[in-house]
Amino acid sequence: MIDTSYYEILQTGLPGDLTVQKLVHGISWTAAVLSDGRTGVAMHTPGETVARMFESLLGLPLSQAGQAMLSWNMEEASEAFAAVNAFYNHDGCGFVKTNAKTLDGVEIRGRTVGMVGMMIGHSNMTQEDFISAKKLYIMDREEKAGALPDSASEFYLPLCDLVIITGSAAINKTMPRLLELSRNAEVILTGPTVTCCPEQLALGINRLSGRVITESDAMLKAIVEKRTSVNRFSAAYQVP
Burial class (CB in 10 A: 0-12, 13-18, 19+), 50: exposed
Q: In this predicted model, what pLDDT tens digit does every residue of 64-92 receive, in sequence order?
A: 999 999 999 999 999 999 999 999 999 88
Cα angle for residues 67, 71, 72 (degrees, 5° grid): 170
The correct answer on CATH 3.30.390.100 for the domain covering 5-88 is: yes
User: pLDDT class for 219, splitting at 50, 70, 90?
Assistant: very high
Q: In this predicted model, what pLDDT tens digit does every residue of 7-64 receive, in sequence order?
A: 999 999 999 999 999 999 999 999 999 999 999 999 999 998 999 999 999 999 999 9
pLDDT at 105: 93
Rounded distance between C-alpha atoms, residue 161 and residue 135, angstroms = 10
Nearest to 158 by CA among 172, 178, 138: 178
CATH of domain 96-213+233-239: 3.40.50.11590
Rounded distance between C-alpha atoms, residue 163 and residue 152, angstroms = 13
Domain locations in the chain?
5-88, 96-213+233-239
pLDDT at 145: 80
Burial class (CB in 10 A: 0-12, 13-18, 19+), 10: buried
Nearest to 193 by CA among 104, 117, 97, 92: 117
190 touches 238 (CB < 8 A) = no
Decide if 5-88 and 96-213+233-239 have a common fold.
no
- Alpha helices (H) in 121-214, listed in sequence order: 153-156, 175-181
Rounded distance between C-alpha atoms, residue 30 and residue 45, angstroms = 9
Q: In this predicted model, what pLDDT tens digit does every residue of 125-177 receive, in sequence order?
A: 999 999 999 999 999 988 888 899 999 999 999 999 999 999 999 999 999 99
